[in-house]
């Protein structure tokens, strides 16, 4: 059997090569490729049905990224020992690819389409998420599925002051910015990532740098399309049209919809008014309408809403709630709303509201991450919940969806940049944002509410963080555009851009951008970022009216935790044989103690429900790890008695020899009757020899008898005379 295998390669410019192969694997899919860099290999496939389901007026696209544990030579954990539902990490990568692909399918293409990307081989230093978008687009490029691409995605990071495309995982620890950027040959359509309080110009520079790399990867995919002979795409007809009906809908409803849009009604009243307009129009069509007519009428009415709202804004600079393009909705916030939480806040902006809590836990509360590519522990979690009642709907709860995972991740990225270090704040932190109302960006409300709750909890963040969602309405024909601050839900749905930016007064900490229109210039992007900065700072000012800095101390009911480092050599002494010592300390003090080796040091965490328990455990640990100092006086305990002296424990696990000659100023011939095991004795550390043995003395702490003093003076005088005689000679 012969194979028609085609290979293309992309040079990243520094000797690193990305290879694309098609024609070898998964040939029954409409399109399939293997993308390889180093030992990282991704298999991407795409399949799209030939016909659309009846009554579907959208693209049923599903994108799934999954990591095979065999890719890294591992067997999955759990009872089943097989890959199960997608992890949050896999969901986030799936969303990155989905958001880059979805806008570039034709608007009238409604066939069910499935893109699957599998990590089939792993390289611990080459991150697969930066290759997933390229793999998915390449699979479509070698198929006959209609697509206005190709596109690609790259990671851009600034490391040691230099911008780098798809950096090694080991280098990311030094990055001051890190973004995944997606786009086509002409335009950028998706950005997501985080940064260390950078300026707007630095973000634009990074996006431009990423776009140059994307253009090269798109060009290679076009070559792949030609090489596979897939330049002709399938024909389809997934939308019927009725131009006469369309004209009727516009003529009967446009002016009414425009008037409602201009009336500045609240969200639900506006929705009800639009529904009434459509209901009245449908009634004019007569009874017993065919489903196809109702379907088209609703579609055309949605087009009327789209045009009316956009024209109102572009022509009159009037938004649905009456604001101009730069105005922020009214804000109020409150902290310490929940008395039993370690930290809590309510943040309300217009018709969007978040009730957020902060819980502080010990090392035992860390989240274990067990993935095929990434594994370890996570000390900071942010969970976002979006119940149906927040939008006035009734629907069953089906667990956490991809939207909740994505929104929570964006808020987590925004806030984690201002968290204190592990030694400054040894707590495991969990933030939970429950959205109680939603009309506009609830993820940005989560950022604001999370910041307030952290400060209420007493967590020493470096600076408060706020977030804002920006929108764009544009008209390619006239060149008119309007950048909108603090967008409503309808403005997001009917607009051309959803751009969320978070940051402190010093700069940007995270951003997420999705574009639904071609041709956004970097000048407009810069303008949007600068307008977002003004909005962020305004929101930050409103937040600081409630609380401007973290509380000086944690709340009384917050469990206490302290972290400190010890020398590596003492880790075993603290744990004890078989964990005996650490278990005894936990049992007797009531504290929870954890210790691990990091950077050639022992990192100790003590977690307790009250201060007395905490102090007791800490003092016992420090007594074990303290180093004896020559000249210090200790209250020791006799551990054993020998003919030549006694061994005295001056610190836990540290014994020294109290020689018989150092017990008293008088001379003893024997140790009989002087001490018994367990006696407490006050001693001074005289010396530590090269072997680490401790020399103790008790007599130097006792008053010296007079005759002993005279004898010493005579001996000293004799020594001095002898020395002078020798010198004279």
Binding-site residue ranges for Mg(2+) = 492, 498
Count of C-beta atoms within a 10 Å radius of residue 510: 25
269, containing H or E segment: helix 267-283
Q: How far apart are CA 262 and CA 322, in angstroms?
A: 7
Assign 695 to helix, strand or coil.
strand
Number of H helices, E strands in the chain: 14, 29
Backbone angles phi, psi at 129, to 5 degrees: -65, -30
Count of C-beta atoms within a 10 Å radius of residue 392: 12
Q: What is residue 487's DSSP assignment? A: -
Q: Are 331 and 352 in contact (CB under 8 A)?
A: no
28, containing H or E segment: none
Peptide bond into 150 cis (omega under 30): yes
Annotated binding site: 492, 498
Rounded (to 5) percent helix, strand, coil in the chain: 35, 30, 35
Backbone angles phi, psi at 29, to 5 degrees: -70, 160
Q: Are 218 and 225 in contact (CB under 8 A)?
A: no
Rounded to 10 deg, the angle between the 522-544 and 442-457 helix axes is 40
Q: How far apart are CA 386 and CA 437, in angstroms?
A: 9
In the sheet that holds 113-121, the strands lie side by side as 6-11, 17-22, 31-37, 40-48, 113-121, 61-67
HSE on the CB side for 81, CA within 13 Å? 2
Q: How far apart are CA 555 and CA 409, in angstroms?
A: 27
Give the DSSP letter string of 202-229: HHHHHHHHHHHHHHHHHHHHHHHHHHHT
Tokens coding 261: 């849009």
Q: Are 394 and 443 in contact (CB under 8 A)?
A: no
Backbone angles phi, psi at 272, to 5 degrees: -65, -40
The closest of 411, 416, 417, 418 to 432, measured between CA atoms, is 411
Dihedral (C-alpha) 199, 205, 206, 207: value to the nearest 10 degrees?
110
The closest of 526, 487, 532 to 509, measured between CA atoms, is 532
Q: In the block, which residue shows the tokens 């005279």?
A: 710
Q: Which long-range contacts (CB under 8 A, 24 or more apart) does 578-585 make?
A: 581/624, 585/617, 585/620, 585/621
Task: Provide the residue count of the chain.
Answer: 729
């Amino acid at each position: 059997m012969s194979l028609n295998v085609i290979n293309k390669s992309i040079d990243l410019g520094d000797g690193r090569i990305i290879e694309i192969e098609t024609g070898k694997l998964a040939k029954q899919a409409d399109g399939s490729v293997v993308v390889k860099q180093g030992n990282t290999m991704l298999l991407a496939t795409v399949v799209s049905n030939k016909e659309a389901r009846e009554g579907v007026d959208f693209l049923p696209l599903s994108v799934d990224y999954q990591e095979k544990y065999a890719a890294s030579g591992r067997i999955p954990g759990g009872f089943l020992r097989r890959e199960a539902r997608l992890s949050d990490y896999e969901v986030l990568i799936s969303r990155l690819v989905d958001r880059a692909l979805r806008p570039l399918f034709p608007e009238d293409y409604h066939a069910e389409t499935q893109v699957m990307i599998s990590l089939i081989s792993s390289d611990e230093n080459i991150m697969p998420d930066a290759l997933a978008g390229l793999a998915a687009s390449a699979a479509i490029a070698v198929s006959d599925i209609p697509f206005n691409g190709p596109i690609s995605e790259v990671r851009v990071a600034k490391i040691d002051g230099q911008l780098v495309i798809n950096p090694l995982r080991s280098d990311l620890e030094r990055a001051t910015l890190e973004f995944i950027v997606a786009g086509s040959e002409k335009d950028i359509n998706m950005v997501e990532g985080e940064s260390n309080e950078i300026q707007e110009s630095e973000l634009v520079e990074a996006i431009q740098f990423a776009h140059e790399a994307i253009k090269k990867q798109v060009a290679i995919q076009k070559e792949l399309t030609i090489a596979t002979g897939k330049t002709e795409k399938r024909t389809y007809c997934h939308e019927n049209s009725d131009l006469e009906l369309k004209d009727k809908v516009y003529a009967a409803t446009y002016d009414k919809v425009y008037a409602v849009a201009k009336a500045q009604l609240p969200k639900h009243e506006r929705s009800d008014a639009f529904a009434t307009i459509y209901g009245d129009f449908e009634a004019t069509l007569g009874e017993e309408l065919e489903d196809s007519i109702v379907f088209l009428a609703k579609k055309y009415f949605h087009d009327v809403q789209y045009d009316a709202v956009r024209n109102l804004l572009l022509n009159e600079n009037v938004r649905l709630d009456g604001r101009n393009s730069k105005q922020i909705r009214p804000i109020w916030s409150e902290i310490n709303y929940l008395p039993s939480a370690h930290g809590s806040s309510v943040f309300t902006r217009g018709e969007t509201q978040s009730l957020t809590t902060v819980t502080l836990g010990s090392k035992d509360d860390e989240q274990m991450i067990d993935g095929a590519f990434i594994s370890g522990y996570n000390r900071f979690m942010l969970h976002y919940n979006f119940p149906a009642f927040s939008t006035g709907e009734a629907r069953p709860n089906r667990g956490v969806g991809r939207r909740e995972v994505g929104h929570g991740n964006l808020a987590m990225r925004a806030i984690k940049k201002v968290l204190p270090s592990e030694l400054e704040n040894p707590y495991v932190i969990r933030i939970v944002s429950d959205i109680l109302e939603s009309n506009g960006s609830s993820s940005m409300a989560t950022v604001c509410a999370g910041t307030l709750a952290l400060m209420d909890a007493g967590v020493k963040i470096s600076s408060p963080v706020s977030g804002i969602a920006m929108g764009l309405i544009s008209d390619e024909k006239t060149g008119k555009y309007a950048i909108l601050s603090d967008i409503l839900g309808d403005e997001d749905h009917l607009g051309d851009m959803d751009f969320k930016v978070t940051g402190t007064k010093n700069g940007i900490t995270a951003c997420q951008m999705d574009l639904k229109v071609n041709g956004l210039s970097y000048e407009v992007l810069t303008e949007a970022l600068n307008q977002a900065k003004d909005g962020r700072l305004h929101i930050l000012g409103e937040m600081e009216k409630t609380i401007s800095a973290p509380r000086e101390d944690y709340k009384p009911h917050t469990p206490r935790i302290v972290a400190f480092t010890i020398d590596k050599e003492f880790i075993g002494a603290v744990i004890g044989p078989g964990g005996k010592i650490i278990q005894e300390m936990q049992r007797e003090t009531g504290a929870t103690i954890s210790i691990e080796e990091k950077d050639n040091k022992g990192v100790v965490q003590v977690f307790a429900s009250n201060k007395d328990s905490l102090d007791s455990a800490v003092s016992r640990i420090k007594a074990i790890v303290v180093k004896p100092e020559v000249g210090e006086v200790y209250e020791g305990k006799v551990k054993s008695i020998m003919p030549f002296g006694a061994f005295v424990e001056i610190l836990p696990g540290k014994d020294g020899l109290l020689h018989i000659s150092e017990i008293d100023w008088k001379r003893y011939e024997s140790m009989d009757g002087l001490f018994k095991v367990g006696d407490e004795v006050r001693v001074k550390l005289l010396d530590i020899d090269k072997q680490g043995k401790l020399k103790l003395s008790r007599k130097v702490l006792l008053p010296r008898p007079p005759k002993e003093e005279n004898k010493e003076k005579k001996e000293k005088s004799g020594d001095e005379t002898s020395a002078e005689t020798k010198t004279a000679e």
